[in-house]
Structure 1
Amino acid sequence: MGTAFPPRFGSDWVRGSRTSFSALDGRKVALWGWGLEGRAAHAALRASLRLAHQPLTVFCTEREAEGIRALGDPALTVETEASADRLSTFDVVIKSPGISPYRPEAMAASERGTRFIGGTALWFADHADDAGFVRNAVCVTGTKGKSTTTALLAHLLRAGGHRTALAGNIGLPLLDVLGPPPALPPAYWAIELSSYQTGDVAASGVRPEVAVVTNVFPEHLDWHGSEDRYVEDKLRLVVEGRPRIAVLNAADPRLSVLRLPDSEVRWYGSEEGWHLRGDILHRGDQRVLDTSPLPLPGRHNRGNLCAALTAIEALGLEAVPLAAAATDFRPLPHRLQSLGVRGGIEYVNDSISTTPHATLAALDCFAGRRVAVLVGGHDRGLDWSVFVDAMRAEATRTPVAIVTMGQNGPRIAALLRPQAGKAGFDLREADTLESAVVAARECLDGNGVLLLSPGAPSFGPYRDYVARGRHFAELAGSDPDAISSIPGLGIG
């Protein structure tokens, strides 16, 4: 694909060398970002005896600065401008995942010798064995399905009696579970990684036991800079991370042609492995389970079950006896989450949907029903032509109404407008989520599904997709606290 990675390693660092906590002793270290990952990194550094009092600088927003100063850490300096000149004065910058290493100031500081890493790299270096592996660790990534696959994996392993940690991008930073009690360590680690974090595994110099990639299609182009670079970054987990076993989706066109000479590859979605025939789950020719009653809406979610079962086998365990435990799986919030029926309308929260492909997958789940779908949000330049073509060509999933909103709402509406009359859907435009919900209710007239599946990020009006989903829950008459908890985080 030809796009070079940023030079994240200074002259005195070896590419792929382990960046452990001990390697930070005596270095000039900064934290960049103060979200979940930044706070976890600070706590982990201060929990280390050798780093408990080492000077640190944190780069954060003005809003965050006051709270950080209130921590009373005398060796912590707070700054609100992360310029290239300032970043380049540090040996190591522990960067929060949401901050792109392709930003000009990060690239410039890298070229001057500053090494940028994330908490994931520190965790991996801390958990490596003598052969350079994190044993019994399964890392899961993919454009969509990674959270559900990771949670399913942990759920099934626990159902089999195995103490398992569920952590990572799913909502619990790895550094928050850095040191489990020695008497009760997890037998297995189920770790979700975003495309912002996959490079950290390669940078750590440590190899995961098993790595899963569910699918790859364009997303987060504003962070990565281009589609090619996004694909490269996403696949670094298996290309540069060199897991012992890579679990890949045979149905994904980018993954099906991938060659990994340093890893054994196990495929799912093919007739030789775990796959679906209609609603029936198969292991090769063996019929295992009817998936239609499972709490996994949509065929794509049942494909995630195939991924989790394949990963379990990659760990050397019997997966067939565990498949039935999916019956008790509790779906994750903000992912095709039914909020109940009010006034004849079922409200479904799919706020996690940040690509047009995800919106189409959501509509597939309600084929044949009356649906009003809310689409639009932060505009990061994704191509919506596939969505528009589907609305023209596939009448079974064409909604009653499409309500556009957000920054890219006008652009989506302009693409859909020529098709609205021909395809038979009502096209409405709204400025806010509140007005979009009102418009969708009018279109449904007390009968159908009001589906929030935006196909776009939430940035601007909301901090993240969780905040957007919580607001939608309020508008639907649900308790946002009651619908937002992620089951099973941590060690259990």
Structure 2
Amino acid sequence: MIPVQGYSGKTVAVLGLGRSGLATVTALQAGGANVIVWDDSPEAADKANDAGVTLRDLTKQGAFTDVAALITSPGIPHLYPEPHPAIARAMVEGCPVDNDIGLFFRSFATGEWDNFETIPKVIAVTGSNGKSTTSALIYHILEEAGRPTQLAGNIGRGVLDIDEAHDGEVIVLELSSYQTDLARALTPDVAVFTNLSSDHLDRHAGHGGYFAAKRRLFAEGGPDRAVIGVDEPEGNYIANQLSEGPADDRVIRVSSGTKLGGDGWNVFARKGFLSETRKGRQVASIDLRQIAGLPGAHNHQNACAAYAACRSLGIGPRVIEQALHSFKGLPHRSQLIAQRDGVAFVNDSKATNVDSAAKALAAFSKVRWICGGLEKEGGLEALLPAPTVVKAYVIGREAAAFAMKLKGLDVEICGDMKTAVTKAAADAQSGETVLLAPAAASFDQYDSFEKRGDDFAEQVASLS
């Protein structure tokens, strides 16, 4: 646990008693704060009692008279589409609002670090797609290289729930736009931007607001080194803003599909090969084509970003290459579930938006595509014409409406996962892939994308 610094003897309010909220309560108490809490759920009083804190309705006038700060859970809106009443009240009454990410960055370093031979570092990863795989891959490489490391944030443990740093340790954080948007302190040593596509538009009032939330990781604290995916204009913009010139190696540019030139530090993948260049010369090359845990161009981009982050810490190319080969991938992200009679069954339930689904479809040559769910803003046009799709099998409560937007594709409306898997498996020929890549959120039928992916795996396992 990371005891929170700066609030000893002060009253701090915590909004939301989920996983991150409860970890925040414990960390604040460890730092000597007097903690009060509010949660909208009917079980709030029981949660507060179990945490040993006072429940106070933070939506009422005067609730923040004696409060030094309000710490809110990332999932609670603070601005768009409208602020939670407690956050609105805090802002009206002049109480600073922060989240657990801000508390982490202000509390992670301690006086004990003066005795360390190597100061601990923080690598923070953000972006629309691939940030979980990139974060997990960086963590895996560090472990394989013998570096002490912890993985936290939007993946693994909460940031305040990790152990206090060891000498030379590297903390890897996956940070969502919800987490970067509000944090009052963002000071990673290495910051990674994977890519950008439209997502969470209601929470950020559009594409520009979503990008602004991601950009804060680079603009607020100024990382010592930045690894930037430059396959979209936004990535090029961040790289340009941070760089003092073409040869400024504080910025490592990353691409999947484009050969990057110039005198800067570049890592890119083309035709399945990763290349690192510095000052116009190739430094290293890795064949990614046979790495089972990283299939497709989108995973090659993840590999490039993870490679660049680890190279910035001085880890050698051959050590990284060995670690890439032993990486097993993450559940629900291009996860090979089974192979039956020459047909592969792949679970990419995390492909919840159009861009991530398109990349998943492009990773395979002939796809029986299971898709559908709670459609996000922006439509499905960017997925089409989907040349690798042999047939689409649509699930979800609004399957018929979703199917109508897949113009030009052979489509069958299935409604539920069992029907989709059964029909896709019956139709599939040897050499084809039955791929779950929904291009939609799961909440119309499932509590989470993980539950949806688990159902897909169970249905595949039950095939006769």
TM-score, length-normalised on structure 1? 0.79
Q: CA deviation at 1:108?
A: 5.2
State the match for 1:93 in structure 2.
70
In structure 2, distance between residues paired with 1:408 and 1:66: 37
State the match for 2:99 in structure 1.
118
In structure 1, distance between residues paired with 2:319 and 2:35: 52
Q: Is the 8 A contact 1:65 1:78 kept in 2?
A: no
In structure 1, distance between residues paired with 2:395 and 2:63: 38
Q: Is the 8 A contact 2:395 2:414 kept in 1?
A: yes
Please list, as runs of the form range in 1=range in 2, the aligned pairs for 1:276-425 lying within 5 A after superposition: 276-284=269-277, 285-294=282-291, 295-342=293-340, 345-367=343-365, 369=366, 371-388=367-384, 390-391=385-386, 395=387, 397=388, 399-406=389-396, 409-417=399-407, 419-420=408-409, 425=410
The verdict on how the C-alpha distance between 1:447 and 1:302 changes in structure 2, with shifts beyond 3 A counting, is closer
In structure 1, distance between residues paired with 2:91 and 2:45: 29
Gaps of 5+ in 1: 1-19, 479-492
Matched, 1:177 2:159: no
Q: Which amino acid aligns with 1:154?
A: Y
Q: Which amino acid aligns with 1:293?
A: Q
Q: Is the 8 A contact 2:337 2:347 kept in 1?
A: yes
In structure 1, distance between residues paired with 2:333 and 2:208: 27
For residues 111-139 of structure 1, what are the alpha-carbon distances to aligned partners after superposition, in whole Å with 9 as ceiling and x for unaligned? 332322111111111124799xx952111
Q: CA deviation at 1:84?
A: 6.9
Q: Is the 8 A contact 2:355 2:383 kept in 1?
A: yes
In structure 2, distance between residues paired with 1:166 and 1:101: 26
Counterpart of 1:469 (choices 453, 461, 464) is: 453
In structure 2, distance between residues paired with 1:75 and 1:150: 34
Matched, 1:56 2:28: no
State the match for 2:108 in structure 1.
127
In structure 2, distance between residues paired with 1:192 and 1:230: 16
Q: CA deviation at 1:342?
A: 4.5
State the match for 2:116 in structure 1.
none
Counterpart of 2:236 (choices 238, 245, 256) is: 256
Q: Is the 8 A contact 2:272 2:287 kept in 1?
A: yes
- Identical columns (%): 30
Q: Which amino acid aligns with 1:375?
A: C
The verdict on how the C-alpha distance between 1:222 and 1:342 changes in structure 2, with shifts beyond 3 A counting, is farther
In structure 1, distance between residues paired with 2:64 and 2:399: 40
The verdict on how the C-alpha distance between 1:345 and 1:33 changes in structure 2, with shifts beyond 3 A counting, is farther
TM-score, length-normalised on structure 2? 0.84
Gaps of 5+ in 2: 114-118, 245-249
Specify the SS of the correspondent of 1:476: helix
Matched, 1:144 2:129: yes
State the match for 1:266 in structure 2.
252
The verdict on how the C-alpha distance between 1:473 and 1:185 changes in structure 2, with shifts beyond 3 A counting, is farther
The verdict on how the C-alpha distance between 1:431 and 1:57 changes in structure 2, with shifts beyond 3 A counting, is same
Matched, 1:239 2:219: yes
Q: CA deviation at 1:360?
A: 1.1
Q: CA deviation at 1:429?
A: 2.1
State the match for 1:230 in structure 2.
210
Matched, 1:160 2:145: yes
The structure with higher relative contact order (CA 8 Å, sep 6+) is 1
In structure 2, distance between residues paired with 1:446 and 1:273: 39
In structure 2, distance between residues paired with 1:129 and 1:260: 31
Q: Is the 8 A contact 2:137 2:306 kept in 1?
A: yes
Specify the SS of the correspondent of 1:233: helix
Q: CA deviation at 1:341?
A: 2.7
Q: Which amino acid aligns with 2:275?
A: H
Specify the SS of the correspondent of 1:378: coil
Q: Which amino acid aligns with 2:370?
A: L
Q: Is the 8 A contact 1:379 1:407 kept in 2?
A: no
Q: CA deviation at 1:320?
A: 4.8
The verdict on how the C-alpha distance between 1:152 and 1:112 changes in structure 2, with shifts beyond 3 A counting, is same
In structure 2, distance between residues paired with 1:281 and 1:74: 52
In structure 2, distance between residues paired with 1:441 and 1:185: 52
State the match for 2:17 in structure 1.
34
State the match for 1:75 in structure 2.
53
Number of equivalences = 432
Specify the SS of the correspondent of 2:129: coil
